[in-house]
Amino acid sequence: MLKKNIFKFLSLFFGIFLHNKKENFTEKVLDYLCLALEKYSPFFITFNIRPKLCKDIYIDNPLIYEKLKSTGVVVQGPVIHENKFTFESIKLYLKIFPNSPIILSTWDTEDLSDFKFISCERFFIVKNKKPLICGITNVNYQIRSSYNGLVKLKNDHNVEYAIKTRTDQRIYKSNLIESLYYLIESYKSNSTLLKQNERIVCLSFNVGMHRPYSLSDMFQFGHINDLLNLWACNYDERNISAAEYWSVPRTTLQSCIDRVAEVYIYTDYFIRNGITLENTYEQYYRLISDLFIVIDESFIDLFWYKYSRAEVRKSFNPTFSENKTFKKITFSEWLIYCNNNSYVINPINYGLYES
């Protein structure tokens, strides 16, 4: 109750204090607060400011990439109505991806009235029925909305490449598609482990260093056929809630053997394509270095509306923390794996709830 009342007071105070103030004023207030907190804290504190509304975002002139191929964007998940977050994200993508069809793949129960004001001929909505069984951590919801959105892109728009992202996250980076093309052209894969047209690009956000097969399912870029293959998952038939599963403390390795959340998606992909899971770190690192490219969130200028406003969350990147349970593989580690197959970190079978 005290925490809620403090939040209400601060919301009211800053609502009056910052109402209609310009960005540089907000920045000065935040800068002052950070400096004040640093005075009595053992940490340095930084922040970032991003506009809420598409109309306040001014993009760079698009760079010309001669080999640019047709690319579509799938935004999957439930509509986030607060601050019209998903609505404004779609408007932004129509601006920063000027030649791409944009697909919102959501549920047939969603209120979609806001989107009738988007008259762009490149915007389309796929309405999905929710699966009867959600799977652990609602993984079946993500499978259905991602796959059906990608099918729409391929069948109706004949794109060669695709970006898959989420309704509760926003990409702010302009010229992103061009950068992604250069990336996959610079790091061609000659792997015989699994037949792919190109590497699949994913975020470092959930690529756990100590969690085998835990690659990020939040943002992906790749050849449309590769992404369709990845998301053509068998549904998770386990009708267990996330709260029920995590009620028992488990090690990171155990959660991977149990194939929970994003681990389920990627292990299903590997199994369907003839890879026998060894549940070892060595196989995991080889799969990452041979079939994927791991990029950092800053590459796409990602903002996640959910959970927290921390720009780099300690639980996902505990660089300065003693507990490395959730330490992730960043682009720099991925680069080492690609260029030195004998390089293997010393994995630690951390418990998920160690403090």
Residue 4's pLDDT is what?
A: 63
Which CATH number fits the domain that encloses residue 242? 3.90.550
Q: How does DSSP classify residue 83?
A: G
Containing structural domain, residue 28: 2-39
Residue 315's pLDDT is what?
A: 47
3-state secondary structure of 269: helix
Q: How does DSSP classify residue 351?
A: B
- CB neighbour class for 44 (10 Å; exposed up to 12, middle 13-18, buried from 19): exposed
Element (H, E) at 110: none
Same domain, 105 and 254: yes
Same domain, 122 and 248: yes
Round to whole Å and give the CA distance between 293 and 199. Answer: 6
Same domain, 216 and 89: yes
Has residue 57 been placed in a domain? no
Q: Domain total for the chain?
A: 2
Same domain, 236 and 299: yes
Round to whole Å and give the CA distance between 103 and 195. Answer: 27
Same domain, 200 and 281: yes
Spans of the chain below 50 pLDDT: 314-315, 351-355
Q: What digits encode the pLDDT tens for the residues 243-261?
A: 888 888 887 778 888 998 8
Same domain, 101 and 240: yes
Asked if residue 194 lies in contact with residue 274, where contact means CB atoms within 8 angstroms, the answer is yes
Same domain, 135 and 27: no
Residue 314's pLDDT is what?
A: 47
Same domain, 159 and 23: no
Same domain, 191 and 333: yes
Same domain, 112 and 215: yes
In sequence order, which residues have a C-beta less than 8 Å from that of residue 281 and are 6 or more positions away? 212, 344, 345, 347
Residue 214's pLDDT is what?
A: 92
Round to whole Å and give the CA distance between 315 and 327. Answer: 8
